[in-house]
Structure formats: structure tokens, C-alpha cells
Amino acid sequence: MKLIFATNNQNKVKEIKWALPSNYEIITLEEAGIVIDIPEPYDTLEENAAGKARTIYNMTAANCFSEDTGLEVVGLNGAPGVRSARYAGDKKSPAENMSLLLSNLENKKDRRAQFRTVICLIFEKEEHYFEGVCQGSIGLKPKGAAGFGYDPIFIPDGAVKTFAEMDLQEKNHFSHRKKASDMLVTFLNESS
């Protein structure tokens, strides 16, 4: 089964391809010949995921999906949330985002956080949503060189390492994106 993944983020492509069984062929925007940067102007992960999926569906009429992920920190009233990729500004600098987050948490006792991924699938002209959540906490400083985004400061519950200190197999044991992907696969298996 072929699905277009409406993203330009190669780290997300890698994680999704790793999470889905080999009978699913994930076509990236680049592979589909689509060279656009789809905006994420909405206030919720659901709306951003849907906006990206609808854009690609309207261009191709092909089965496709998109996702949006946010880091929601309890001590920051859920921030950065939907603004996670642009927390420190529109240039999307992971290092600056992490630095600002750690600075904003300096005097906070509650470092609990969660990653939340929402996938919007448009399959046979209908929209479907799948959500994955990973509970954890924010470390005191970045650790590890793997992963991307906030992975160097996020420690999932039940682990002693950050996501950035884990290989993809370890990360997928906890991963919000993997949980949402598993629901996507279950739905597609039941629908085909």
C-alpha cells in the first residue's frame, strides 16, 4: 500500500518508515515531486496535521497522511505545545528551542512533560485521526547525539536515558510517534 507522507522532515520520515511494516510504501513529498513548505498556522496539533494532509490530498487525490507533534510541559502550562518547532522563533532552531525551554524551567519544580503526536490520514477520501502520547520529564541539560528536536532533554517515564541517548529501537519502545503509527497501521489493516 502506498501512502504519501506530507512532511519535509527527514527525521520524521525515518521514524515513520521504521515504525510501519514493510508492506506499506511511504512516499515522501520529495519522492512525489512536491516541493512546498506547508504552513502550520493553527492552534492545535489536530488542525495542523489536517491542514498538511488536506493540502497534499487536494494536489494529488492520493491516500496520504501528515502528523504534528508537540512537547507539552506541565511547569510551563503546556508550552511549547503546538509551537514546539518554533518556540524560540520562526527559523526552527532545535538548539535555541531547547535552550529557551531549559531557561524557562530554571525556577520550576515540576518538570513533567509529554510528547503528543496527532496523525491525520486521508484514506479513500475520508479523514481519520490517531494520537500517541509519551509521558516523561525534562532533564537538566541536553544529553545524547541521536534523535532530533527536544530528544536530548526528554526522558520518557520508565527510562533513565533521554531519547537522544537511545537508538531507534529503544526510542520506539516509548515513542509517541510509534504509538500513533501503530494505530494508523491497525486501521489500515482493518480497512484493506
Q: Minimal CA–CA distance to 138: which of 116, 172, 108, 117? A: 108
Sign of CA dihedral 181, 182, 187, 192: positive
The 10 Å Cβ neighbour count of residue 136 is 22
- Torsion, Cα of 15, 141, 137, 43 (10° steps): -70
Catalytic residue status for 182: no
C-alpha count within 13 angstroms, C-beta hemisphere, residue 9: 18
Dig out the grid coordinates for 7 from the structure: 512532511
**CB-CB contact of 78 with 89 (8 Å):** no
Catalytic residue among 43, 68, 110, 182: 68
Instruction: Please state the φ and ψ torsions of residue 15, each to the nearest 5 degrees.
Output: -65, -40
Strands, DSSP E only, in 75-164? 80-81, 112-123, 126-138, 154-156
Active site residues: 68
